[in-house]
Every structure is written in C-alpha cells, then in structure tokens.
Structure 1
Amino acid sequence: MEFLEFTHNPWLVAASLSISLVAAFTGFSLTRGIAAQPVALRKLSVTMAAIALGGGIWSMHFVAMLGLQLPIPIYYDAAITLGSALVAILMVGIALLILHFHRRTALTLTLAGTITGLGIVAMHYLGMTGLQLCRAVYTLPGVIFAVLAACLLSIAAIWVAYGQRNPRNILMGTLAFGFAVFLVHFAAISGTRFVRVAPLQDIGPLLSNEVLALGVLISSFVLCGAFLLTSVNFLSTPPVPAPSVPPRLLRIPYEQNGQTHFIDARDVAFLRAEGHYTLLYTGRQKHFCTWSITEAERRLAPDPFVKSHRSYLINPDHVVLFERRKDNGICHFHLGGQDIATPVSRSRLPALREVLGLS
C-alpha cells in the first residue's frame, strides 16, 4: 500500500484557527446571562449557540482540509459532508443543554466537555469518510490519541468558560476552545495516511473544492456577523436605571429607644419582612425598620439589594455560601459568629444566580 505525501497551506491553516476562535466566542457570548431568561427564550439562545459552535467546528475542519495538499485532486460527498456538520451541532447542543438546564457541578462540566470532545472527533472522522478519489487510513493509537485529546481539551475549555460567566472567563474559554478544536484536527491528521483509490462510476453527489470553499466562506461570514453582533453586547455595560430615590436614602432608618437612627445599607446583610415592617440584620444584631418589604425593595433594589423571596431582601456582598436545592435555594450569612440561612424562591433563583456570578 503506497501512502500519498501531503503538506498544508499555511494561510488556510491560519484561517481555520481564526474560524475556530470566532465560533467559540460567538457561542459562549450568546449564552452569557441567559439564566434569567424565560425557558423558551433560553432554548432559542442555546440553539443559536449550538449552531455557532457546531458550525464553527465543521467550518474549521473543512477549511483545514482545503489546506491539505495532496498530489491528486480530492472531492467530498455532499450528503456525508452535511451529516458531519449536523453531528457537530447536535453533540454541542446536548452539551449546552446540560450546562444551561442543569445545576453546574464538577460532574456536569466534565460530562459536557466529554460530549463536546466526542462530537469533535465524530464530526472529523465522519467528514473524512466523505473523501473521494483517495481514502484515509487510520491506526488505533492515532484514533485513541485524537479521542483523548478532544475530550481532555474540551473539558478544560468548558471548565474555563463556565467557571465564572464573566467577560474574562469567556475570552479565556474562547482561546481554550478555539485551540482545542484546532489541535484536535491536526492531532487526528498526524495519525492519518492517505491512499489513492480508483474512481467509481457512481460516487454520489460531489462538492468540488471551489464549491466547498464558497460554502465555508459563507458560513464563516455568518459567524463573523454573529461575532460583531455579540461583541456589542459583550463589550457594553448594561444601562444603569435612574435611581428612584436620592442617593442619601441608601442609609436605612431604624427605630431604637424611641429614636430614629440610620445605618449604611452596605452594612446590612439582609432585610426580613415582619408584618408591615422589616427587620435589618447586621453583623451583630438586628434592628426594627418602619419600611415595609415593598417599600424597602423600591428604595434599595436592584443595587445593592436583591429580592430573593417575598419576605427577604438580601445584600449579595454578604452571602458566604449558596446552596442550590431541587426547586429553590438557600443563601447563608455569617453574622455575629452564627450561620443564618435565608430562602430563595424558585422564581427568584435565576436572577439571584446571575448576581452571584453563578450563571
């Protein structure tokens, strides 16, 4: 069996890396802060991100394959090529559903990364079967190496991107994921050899390199457009709502010994409704406030306080532990040497997780 010599076009190799990075940034940006969205809108965001990430994986692969220079012309079966793209989108979509519709733990992050890695190698090897006029020959060590590299690099990228959902982690996750897809492709190619095969009379619908290049360019243009749109949201800061009360009301009044005192709102861990009034909890004691919980929310939310329950208004800066339950949650405060827990209702859970940096 005579193996064909091959090289790579450095410009197309660089272009494939750029596409991989653009796709990663687009997918991770589209899913930032979607925990507070309604379920239907969250599913739409996950779908768009899956198309961006999965389509980017596919585009990177085929731009790199266009850069593969063999001594013979090569073509691609259209049906198999489309199937490999759909596999990438499906696998990435499953991983994103796990990340955005289940509690994020070490297990779910690792599972999502593993599924993504398997999607990358499945797309790669399925796409390689679409080659016409030559055939790819693999070795078992080469395939094992590609699978391990894909899973480990994807797990690392997911851990980085979803450790904290802030711009810094998204940028670091973009680099990690973009290079992961890029390196997996060339790790798989390094363990692959190519042999010439005789053309068949009926080899199915073919895509020439020119047509394939045009399709990849169009998909890359779409990804770049998504990149520009998401970068606007990524770089801009949310508009700050006009305060409904003067800044001086960030001092909260409370009654003690028939006198009205004031305390800085930043020193209050949380407020709890007590009938038509509220109790202020600080580091060592609690104070009686004449505001109702509704009035306190109007004057203090959304900065620095967040309503976590119909009877509780909490200061996220004082939360020392967050505990997720099946349908709700609990915030823990360390006050006066004691651990005090406050409930988080199901409807308030997504917004609170976003404030705490958990979404």
Structure 2
Amino acid sequence: MEFLNTSHSGFLVAMSCLVALVAGFTGLSLTRDLAEKPMFQKKASIALASVALGGGIWAMHFVAMLGLQLPILFYYDAAITLVSALSAILLVGAALIILHFANRTPVIITLAGGIVGAGILAMHYIGMAGLELCRAVFSVSGVAFSSFVAVGLCIAAFWIAYGQRTNRNILLGTLCFAIAVCAVHFLAMTGTNFVAVPSLAEFGPVMSNETLALGVIFFSFVIFGTCLWVSVTYLVVAPSAQPEAATEPSHASRSEPRSAPEAVVGLQIPCERDGSKVFIRSADVLFVRADGHYTQVYTADEHLFCAWPITDATKRLITVGFMQTHRSYLVNPDRVVRFERTKDKGRCIFGGADLPPAPVSRSKLKIIQNALASQVGAVRAG
C-alpha cells in the first residue's frame, strides 16, 4: 500500500483554530442566564447554541481539510459531509439539553462533556469517511489518543464553563473547547495516511473543494456574525448584585416596617404571563412553590410560571427575607395572615379564599412558628 505525500496550508490551519474559538465562545455565551428566560426563549437559545457549537466543530474540521494538500485530485461525498455536520449538532444539542433541563450535578456535567467529546470524534471520522478518490488510513494510537483528549478536554471545558456561570469561566471554557476540537483533528491527522482510490463510491452527490469552501465560508460568516451579536451582551453593565449574606427573617409585627424594605422591593422575579415575560416584585409575592425543575409564583391575584428552579429561588429570595417552610415552598412572612399548627406539622395561611396554604415541614416547624409568633396570629389545632 503506497501512502500519498501530504502537506497543509498554515493560513487555513490558523483559520480553523480561530473558527473553533469563535464557535465555542458563541455557543457557551448563548446559554448564559437561561434560568431567567421564558421557556420558548430558553429552548431557542439551546437550539442556537447547538448549531453554533456543533456547526463550529464541523466548520473547523473542513476549514482545516481545505488546507490539506495531496498530489491527486479528490472530492467529498455531500451526503456523508451533511451527516457529519448533523451528528455534531445533535450530540451537542443532547448535551445542552441535559445540562439545562436536568439537575446540574457533577455527574451531569461530566456526562455532557463526554457527549460533546463523542460529537467531535463522530464528526471527524464521519467527515473523513466522505473523502472520494482517496481514503484515510488511521492508526490505532492516533484514534485512541485523540479520543482521550477529546473527551477529557470537553469534560474540563464544561466543568469550567458550568461550574460557575461567570464571564471569566465562560472564556476559559471556550479556550478548552477550542483546544479540544483542534487537538482531536490535528492529533488524529498526525496518525493518518492517505491512499488513492481509483473510483467514486457514489453514496451521494460529489462535492468539490470549491463547493465545500463556499459552504464553509457561509457557515463561518454566520458564526462570526453571531459572535459579534453575543459579544454586545458582555458590554452591558450588569446591575449591582444582591448581597451574598442572608438576612434574618423579620420578627417585627405587620404594622412595623421591615428593616430593609429596599431589598424586598428591589428584587424582581422573572415570570411568564400569557406567553410574555413579566417581572414581579418580591414584595408582591406571597409564596413560591416548586414545580418540577421550575417554580410557580403566587401573588394575591394570580399564580405565574417562573423558570427559576427552587434551589435558585431559595438562594435569591432568602436574602430578601423569605423563609423556606418546606423543601418545595418559600414564604414571604409579611404576607402571612395566620399560622396553624396540627400536631407535628403546620401551614401558613394567606388572605384570599382561593389561595392554598403553604405547608410547614416538621423539621422547620419550630423555626417558622417562632419567626411568625409576634407577627401573625397562631392557631393550634388538634
């Protein structure tokens, strides 16, 4: 078997690395702050991020392949090339869905990173199978090493980017993602040789390097344009953060003002009403109830869907005086009109016949009863 001599264009190699970097930044930035967005916008952002990350993997590969120089004329099978792009997008999409619709535990983050690493590998080797008039011959060591690097670096990228959703971590995660994509391609290519094949496989339409270049240029333009659009969000000055330390629940009577009314009034809770996003003042909220991975926000007149999971709602609302009466309930003590205790359980009653009570679990009964004792009427039943 006679192997063909190969060389690469340094300019296109550099451009392929830049495409991977921009795609990673765009995709990871599109998934920022999704917990605060309506469901449709959340799904749309995940879909766009999947296309940016998965399509970026594909674009990086074929920009680098355009720089591959062989002593023979070769083409690409258009159908296999399309499958390689779709496989990367679908696997990245599966990883993002797991990250944003399941409880984000260490196992989930590791699983998502592993899936993206598998997406990079699938895209590379399916894309290489689309070569016409020549065939890639892979080495076992090259496949094994590139697979190890792909999965390891992608897991690291997602641990960094999703461990803490800060701008700094997103940028570091972007760098890890880009290194993973580039390392897989070039490490795999280091152990790859090419042999001439006399005839076309004819699985799908034949595509020349020129046609492929047009497609890659168009998709890269879309990724770079989206990157510029996303970059604007980093220039917007974020409002001052809420204080980290939790304040103690108020023990004052309802006729007395709270010690920090600005904090309660100032926090806005993102909710959905008739498909539109609205912000509800925390002071107007009676209680918040867990609803799967999301929450329901109850005011005196209505209850609304909120994309915050109960864990996020707890972190934010405890700082402005809410109390967790149950693992699934957060209560605004200023809006409780009566506390009832039945044996080893209790419940908080609110004004309004249509408002359900908020249960108080046994472990929190004494704390909630003492906190509300001087503020509302307490009734012991049974």
Normalised by the size of structure 1, how large is the TM-score?
0.73
Note the 1:1-359 alignment, pairs <5 A.
Answer: 1-200=1-200, 202=202, 204-238=204-238, 269-272=247-250, 276=254, 289-291=256-258, 297-298=264-265, 300-301=266-267, 307=282, 310=286, 328-329=310-311, 342=324
SS in 2 for 1:271: coil
User: In the alignment, residue 104 of structure 1 is paired with which amino acid?
Assistant: R
The answer for unaligned runs of 5 or more in structure 2 is 270-280, 289-308, 317-321, 331-382
User: In the alignment, residue 328 of structure 1 is paired with which amino acid?
Assistant: I
SS in 2 for 1:135: strand
Alpha carbons of structure 1 residues 345 and 45: separation in structure 2 relative to 1, 3 Å: farther
Q: Does the aligned pair in 2 maintain the 1:331–1:343 contact within 8 Å?
A: no
User: In the alignment, residue 224 of structure 2 is paired with which amino acid?
Assistant: C
Q: Does the aligned pair in 2 maintain the 1:273–1:292 contact within 8 Å?
A: no
How far off its partner does 1:223 sit?
A: 0.5
**CA deviation string 1:196-219 (max 9, x = no partner):** 010248463111111111110100
Aligned length: 292
The alignment yields a C-alpha RMSD, in angstroms, of: 3.4
Q: Does the aligned pair in 1 maintain the 2:88–2:119 contact within 8 Å?
A: yes
Write the distance in 2 (CA, Å) between the matches of 1:163 and 1:123. Answer: 26
Normalised by the size of structure 2, how large is the TM-score?
0.69
Query: Share of identical aligned residues, percent?
Result: 50
Write the distance in 1 (CA, Å) between the matches of 2:197 and 2:60. Answer: 26
Q: Does the aligned pair in 2 maintain the 1:116–1:154 contact within 8 Å?
A: yes
Alpha carbons of structure 1 residues 80 and 347: separation in structure 2 relative to 1, 3 Å: farther
Alpha carbons of structure 1 residues 347 and 294: separation in structure 2 relative to 1, 3 Å: farther
Higher mean alpha-carbon deviation, 132-141 vs 10-19, is at 132-141
How far off its partner does 1:147 sit?
A: 1.2
How far off its partner does 1:269 sit?
A: 1.1
Q: Does the aligned pair in 1 maintain the 2:252–2:258 contact within 8 Å?
A: no
How far off its partner does 1:140 sit?
A: 2.4
SS in 1 for 2:249: strand
Aligned to 1:256: none
User: In the alignment, residue 342 of structure 1 is paired with which amino acid?
Assistant: Q
Q: Does the aligned pair in 1 maintain the 2:50–2:93 contact within 8 Å?
A: yes
Write the distance in 2 (CA, Å) between the matches of 1:35 and 1:201. Answer: 48
User: In the alignment, residue 48 of structure 1 is paired with which amino acid?
Assistant: L
How far off its partner does 1:271 sit?
A: 3.5
Write the distance in 1 (CA, Å) between the matches of 2:246 and 2:89. Answer: 47
Q: Does the aligned pair in 2 maintain the 1:88–1:122 contact within 8 Å?
A: yes
The answer for unaligned runs of 5 or more in structure 1 is 241-264, 278-288, 313-326, 333-339, 349-359
Write the distance in 2 (CA, Å) between the matches of 1:266 and 1:170. Answer: 22
**CA deviation string 1:64-123 (max 9, x = no partner):** 011111111111000000110000000000111111111222111110000000000001
**CA deviation string 1:105-156 (max 9, x = no partner):** 2111110000000000001000111000000112222222221111001111
User: In the alignment, residue 60 of structure 1 is paired with which amino acid?
Assistant: M
**CA deviation string 1:167-195 (max 9, x = no partner):** 11111111111111011111111121111
**CA deviation string 1:289-332 (max 9, x = no partner):** 4349999722x5359xx9497369xxxxxxxxxxxxxx733559
Write the distance in 1 (CA, Å) between the matches of 2:74 and 2:164. Answer: 44
